Structure 1
Amino acid sequence: MKTGNRVARKHVGIRDVAAAAGVSVTTVSHVLNDTPHTRTSDDTRNRVKAAAEELGYQPNRLARGLRIQASGMVGLITEEIATTPHAGKIILGAQEEATRQNLMLAIINSSLNPAVEIDPAGVRAFLDRQADGVIYATVYHDEVNPPEEMLGIPAVLIGARDARGEIPSFMPDERAGAASIVDMLVAAGHRRIAFAASSVDVPATRGRLLGYRDGMLAAGLDPDQFVAAAEGEAKGGYEAAARLLDVAVGADERPTALFCYNDRMAMGAYRAIAERGLTIPADMSVVGFDDQDPIAASLFPPLTTVALPHYEMGARAVAELMGIIESRPEHGLLPGHPTLLACPIVHRDSVAAPSPDKHPRASTH
């Protein structure tokens, strides 16, 4: 495109320099920002600087300001998690850790983005205000593509991994959490353990189903015998539980325990169980996932469930971000491998050993 007699120059970004030099974006950032405590050879440094000069790269002054000025403020961008009933603990964990680190935490609630692209508007807003670093918390994505504004600055992801492997992240270990539920039910004596799965294809759906299968296979049980999928709400829980209970001819064939994809599905399952004249946990143990307020503790009986580590993710993200800002050598998680945080079981009153007459009869010789 020409303007008068001048040719408009294409904007050259940090990714262009990385491609020309044959190195990662992180390496380019370290070289051009003179980041301390990095292991970059002189040859690599020279290649990066030569590529930047040849391409006419001009660094983002606002982004560079994050490296040379300390505002004492970090930004948290939430992808509609601030409006969900159980994820506010991310904000609480981040806020309390920021206070411990003598930082001010600023929050922007971004709209939910169904794509895997992170909206750069919130990042730019924090750059304009000279924030020392940025945390982005997502809802459903297992991989995202951060905007260029997040590359070359201190940044951490919550709930997703960077598809390019440049930014460290924290995610819940939902697969291990689901497997631990099956282990707990097996230890209580259950062998016919059903799973009310979600029909929506999101990372949590896949992780929890895989965890259920892991636990069942580890116990030598059939992972496909008692599985029904429905929407991840109370209505779906009711429908899935009804299907799982109605396929059985008698008490000695139906499941003795029901693991629900989330607490909302467990709420619907309670109704389906009661309508069939069964009681919890005497006739059927029920377990949820999420430890969602106020559902899990308010059901009767109170629901045993798995807690997502929202508080820990928020706190750990701020601590990691501060380590990156200060270039502390003990920090620096592997960006290509998200740090998985444990999902602990919250024991309440909805689980008991199966009644003796509901145990599969042992063979006699």
Structure 2
Amino acid sequence: MVRRTQPVTMKDVAERAGVSQATVSLVLNNVRGSRVADATRDRVMGAVRDLGYSTNAFARSLRSGESGMIGFISDEVASSPFAGELLKGAQLLAWETGNVILGVDTFGDPGLEAAAVDTMLSYRVRGVVYASMFHRVVEVPEGLAGVPTVVVNAQDGAGLVPSVFPDEELGGYTATRHLVEAGHTRIAMINIQSPDSTLPAGIGRLAGYRRALDEAGIAERPDWVRYGTGIVEDGLALTTELMSASDRPTAIFCGNDRTAWGAYRALERLGLRTPQDCSIVGFDNHQMVAPYLDPGLTTLELPYEQMATTAVEILLSGAPDTAGAHPVECSLISRGSVTEAKVPA
């Protein structure tokens, strides 16, 4: 018999038994209702004996009732550099508290999501962070009923579990207020969705813009509120329209950084300058965009890491079943795209 130099893994057991790693996990955890056939169970246990697979971690889990794992189910968070800070925040706090993250990206596939839920249950996770790459209303999978769950960067449509999400309205208010404090009274907004969209980001950011104007005693100009889709091309086209008029704004709050990038391009094409001819504020603090525009873009930072940290704190608090909304403030990142408004001669 050849002696192995590497420890036997669950993958080795699965290959020997001719089953998936999830099936091996179900057998070793003796999960009720898993519907694993007796013959399959026998093959798995035979492979465990033949390969000398150590199940100490599972034994500890069975004895204590806790695996030391926190599930992290998301659509595309782990594979997205834009929202990856969510996973980072969860991992850091989990590690500090003696836990580890078991993460799965489902890419919006219902079958993969169901399998991910089953895997979380088989590992007896302490709870699940159910995350979204962008702020939206979600339905928590039925399979997580009875499992401590916190929704992050999204809102639970049923209102049954805690939801941690960016405070979009406060962010829109902060962005617009920053322009007001720089002396601007002619402030336009280019939103990132249509007026009939139900996505929380655009709704909240527009509400914040309106609140800041109202608080400052500035009448809203309906023709200065434009609606795009959050892409560079919309920022280019809509800023061109706004700044080509004889009566034009001196500042624009863009609903995201890509729209702001388009606004920069529009100003340049028109022979205008940022911020001398028009101040620009974005939203997201997209690390591949905001710092590299010239001048650097003043923007609101989405609090990915803080949202994930808050979600894990709720899970570990001992009372994660208390539903409720937990908005997290978006910080203003000031760069060079805003200047004092010109005083009319």
TM-score norm. by structure 2 comes to 0.77
User: In the TM superposition, what are the counterparts of 1:14-163 in structure 2 within 5 Å?
Assistant: 69-112=65-108, 119-140=113-134, 142-163=136-157
Which residue is 1:356 aligned to?
A: 343
Indicate if the aligned counterparts of 1:66 and 1:133 stay in contact, CA closer than 8 A.
no
User: In the TM superposition, what are the counterparts of 1:1-365 in structure 2 within 5 Å?
Assistant: 69-112=65-108, 119-140=113-134, 142-200=136-194, 201=197, 202-223=199-220, 224-246=222-244, 248-249=245-246, 253-323=247-317, 327=318, 331-332=319-320, 334-335=322-323, 337-357=324-344
Quote how far apart the aligned CAs of 1:67 are. Answer: 11
Quote how far apart the aligned CAs of 1:332 are. Answer: 4.5
**Unpaired segments of 5 or more residues in structure 2?**
1-30, 35-60
Indicate if the aligned counterparts of 2:106 and 2:112 stay in contact, CA closer than 8 A.
no
**Alpha-carbon spacing, 1:71–1:334, altered in 2? closer, same or farther (3 Å):** closer
Distance between the aligned counterparts of 2:290 and 2:179, measured in 1? 18
TM-score norm. by structure 1 comes to 0.73
Indicate if the aligned counterparts of 1:169 and 1:338 stay in contact, CA closer than 8 A.
yes
Quote how far apart the aligned CAs of 1:139 are. Answer: 3.4
Distance between the aligned counterparts of 1:67 and 1:137, measured in 2? 30
Quote how far apart the aligned CAs of 1:228 are. Answer: 1.4
SS where residue 268 of structure 1 aligns? helix
Distance between the aligned counterparts of 1:146 and 1:66, measured in 2? 27
Distance between the aligned counterparts of 1:301 and 1:85, measured in 2? 23
Distance between the aligned counterparts of 2:223 and 2:262, measured in 1? 21
Quote how far apart the aligned CAs of 1:92 are. Answer: 0.8
The code of the aligned residue for 1:244 comes to L
Q: After superposition, what is the alpha-carbon deviation per residue over 1:171-227, rounded to whole angstroms, capped at 9, x for unaligned?
A: 100111001111111111000001011235322121111111111122122222411
The code of the aligned residue for 1:354 comes to A
Distance between the aligned counterparts of 2:143 and 2:185, measured in 1? 52
Distance between the aligned counterparts of 1:303 and 1:60, measured in 2? 54
SS where residue 83 of structure 1 aligns? coil
State percent identity of aligned pairs: 36
**Alpha-carbon spacing, 1:141–1:345, altered in 2? closer, same or farther (3 Å):** closer
Distance between the aligned counterparts of 2:32 and 2:243, measured in 1? 61
Quote how far apart the aligned CAs of 1:140 are. Answer: 4.4
SS where residue 356 of structure 1 aligns? coil
**Unpaired segments of 5 or more residues in structure 1?**
1-58
The code of the aligned residue for 2:331 comes to P
SS where residue 86 of structure 1 aligns? coil
Indicate if the aligned counterparts of 1:123 and 1:134 stay in contact, CA closer than 8 A.
no
The code of the aligned residue for 2:214 comes to L
**Alpha-carbon spacing, 1:122–1:266, altered in 2? closer, same or farther (3 Å):** same
Indicate if the aligned counterparts of 2:280 and 2:298 stay in contact, CA closer than 8 A.
yes
Q: After superposition, what is the alpha-carbon deviation per residue over 1:134-178, rounded to whole angstroms, capped at 9, x for unaligned?
A: 111023464322222212111111022223322112010011100
The code of the aligned residue for 1:297 comes to P
The code of the aligned residue for 1:90 comes to L
Quote how far apart the aligned CAs of 1:130 are. Answer: 2.0
